[in-house]
């Protein structure tokens, strides 16, 4: 099956700093999503981004499908950004099965 | 839109007992998914419904696990003869278009 690797595994930032999280995947995909899991365990969908670039406030994401990677950018980080960020991919746009990476754990210190 | 709802939030059970979890998806969503997450890892796909039809099951879903979605509304996930290795967070998600999925808060199962 498809392999998903996320880097770095852990990231510690001071409030206000910027960061880039990376997701590499081993095969062509038609569905890619980024999620944030907060310290209480709730998974929040950030972006559906199988290709191209999207922005939502301080967050933006870029997927280069031909090179099999996606990047999540967090600017001017806040303590509420802390948690685990997951990338999830699927072969089919209508597939129920998504493969998740092991996540990047972000800690933002005040 | 009240989001995906899961019940219970926490469940502690003795090894060998049966447990059942419930998931209520976002009302207009026809796709419903179950995932399992253990500490330090990403969620793993278990099974998927489109309306009332169960379209795909992971090899992780042993014969002790069964899921239903009667009438294409809420879903239940039952684990029979629980084992300590079943301890995990069980997550339900739903989707309208298959592109974007929305997760519930999960049911944390502890088998003692």
What does the pLDDT average to over B68-77?
92
Does pLDDT of B1 surpass 60? no
Mean predicted lDDT score pLDDT of chain B: 93
The pLDDT, as a whole number, for residue B62 is 85
* Contact assignment for A33 to B100 by CB distance below 8 Å: yes
The residue among B42, B55, B96 with the most chain A CBs within 10 A of its CB, best to mutate, is: B42
Residue of B nearest to A86 (CA): B42
Does pLDDT of A93 surpass 70? no
Q: pLDDT per residue over A11-37, tens digit each?
A: 999 999 999 999 999 998 889 999 999
Q: Read out DSSP for A20-69? A: EEEEEESS--SEEEEEEE-TT--EEEEEE-SSEEEEETTEEEEEEGGGTE
Instruction: Give phi and psi for A65, each to the nearest 5.
Output: -65, -35
B53 vs A contacts (CB less than 8 Å): none
Q: Which residues contact B53 (CB under 8 A, 6 or more apart)?
A: none
- The Cα B90–Cα B35 span in angstroms is 6
């Amino acid at each position: 099956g498809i392999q998903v690797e996320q880097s770095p595994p852990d990231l510690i930032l001071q409030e206000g700093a910027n960061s880039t999280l990376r997701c590499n995947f081993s095969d062509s995909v038609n569905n890619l999503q980024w999620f944030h899991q907060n310290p209480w365990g709730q998974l929040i969908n950030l972006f559906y981004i199988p290709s191209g670039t999207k922005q939502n406030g301080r967050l933006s994401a870029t997927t280069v499908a031909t090179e099999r990677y996606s990047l999540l950018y967090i600017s001017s980080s806040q303590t509420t950004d802390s948690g685990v960020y997951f990338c999830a991919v699927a072969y089919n746009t209508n597939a129920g099965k998504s493969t998740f990476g092991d996540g990047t754990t972000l800690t933002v210190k005040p | 839109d009240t989001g995906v709802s899961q019940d219970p939030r926490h469940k502690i059970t003795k090894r060998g007992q049966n447990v059942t979890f419930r998931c209520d998806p976002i009302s207009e969503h026809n796709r419903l998914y179950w995932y399992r997450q253990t500490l330090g890892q990403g969620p793993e796909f278990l099974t998927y419904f489109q309306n009332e039809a169960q379209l795909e099951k992971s090899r992780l879903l042993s014969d002790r696990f069964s899921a239903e979605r009667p009438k294409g509304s809420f879903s239940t996930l039952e684990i029979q003869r629980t084992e300590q290795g079943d301890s995990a967070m069980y997550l339900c998600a739903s989707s309208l278009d298959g592109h974007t999925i929305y997760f519930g808060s999960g049911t944390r199962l502890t088998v003692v």
